Structure 1
Amino acid sequence: MANSNGNKIALVTGATRGIGFETVRQLASQGVHVLLAGRDRGKAVDAALKLQSEGLPVEAIALDVTSDSSIAAAAEEVAAKHGRLDILVNNAGVFRDDGTLKPSQQSLDVWLGTFNTNLFGLIATTQAFLPLLHKSPGARIVNVSSILGSIALHQDPASPIYNYKVPAYNVSKTAVNAWTAHLAYELRETPHKVNTIHPGSVLTDMNAQGDLSVEDGARTSVRLALIDEAGPNGGYFHFEETLPW
């Protein structure tokens, strides 16, 4: 039987390493043709070649989510080569807070730099690719957020994140969740779906304290990228669990 994912085209941002790279691997292993996006084309090519050597349908593309010209060029490249996009995984992100400082002491530069990538870059990328996503019979957008974006859990002294206040990062992810809810409303009467996810506390270059493997960290993104028409729209998930906003 032919793989139903075999004709799908996906793009994953921030995919040259860590969870993004593993998300590409898992989607490609399901038969999806995946565009592995990175700020540095050379690093994206190197990462794609690793997966191609495993026989996976992966293609490199340069995409810096903080550069309007880079985003536009990537969208034009995808339009020219593929004519549509079925899956967009907004995985690119940065963590710049100084954990030794109180919330009110984080510099404005940290706030601006964090939001520029984690929120504004994500929105700009989504806006640029929406015309191609609308050409899909059923597009899926996955926004990689974090449990640290949950206001409910930040206010609950019994929650595991109550004492983890790194505000620029946390609030950027809260904003990603809010953007997801708004875009889901816009898409509610279409065949397209957008959801936001918490990958888990994953041991990566950005998170030295993680307790999950990158394989597990990619699972939620991949699941939401491949949901069928009965799947959710506008949800916030970790594995199969729905998280509180």
Structure 2
Amino acid sequence: MELSQIKNVFNWSEFESALAANSGSDNLGVFVYNEKGDFASINIYSTGYGSTPQFVIVGNFNNDHRMNIAVANNGSNSVGILMSDRTIAFKEQIVYSTGSDSQPSSVTKNNFEIRVLLRHYWKKGLSARAAAAEICEVEGEGTIGKTAAIKWFKRFEDGDLDFEDKPRSGRPSILDEGELDGIEVLPHPAYSPDLAPSDYGLFRSMVHFFRGRRFETFDQVEAACREFFESKEPHWYRDQIRQLAERW
């Protein structure tokens, strides 16, 4: 398993979790802590065979006041959305194609969320440049440029508090909702029905290895994972792979 990225911490009341995109095993891992601060489990969510997830973000994508997951699936030319099931778990991934050979390597937050933040800082009296700097400090470098922030501040100052883009030539102004309703999202099984699961007991062993431990930073999580991998002798991996082959 390759840890391509460790991302945000979720806060579910007394629960905290760290999210990892595992590009080598085509899944996401959510490291869950319980209310006592102990490492409770790793919840694994498949992103599909050959998906090679490269990047993850969390956000309130459907306005339900819950943190959801968006993942860039580089190997399957798609973006996956995992909605919170209102507990500490997520529903099965919904897959959206990004086009043939697109190979997405990142996902950005919805423009709507960024524009809400811009208006918030405008109302607080910050300058456009200061607002852009604040947003980029929290959401990541390059989330919004100073020029775009200035444009939106000018709209707010002119009394236009709408967050939508203005119509422009070459861009359709009417959305055909009937056409959208006709789009079918194909069901996506947690594991391919044609292939044996690729974790070959790996995560079960990791749960035992991390039990009772608590991590304060993402670096500590990644270091602990590497510690686990290095603690295993080569023959352990060979035995696990052999057992996987025997399950076919």
TM-score with structure 1 length normalisation?
Answer: 0.23
Q: Which has the higher helix share?
A: 1
Higher RCO (CA < 8 A, seq sep 6+): 1
Q: Which has the higher strand share?
A: 2
TM-score, normalised by the number of residues in structure 2: 0.23
Q: Rg larger in 1 or in 2?
A: 2
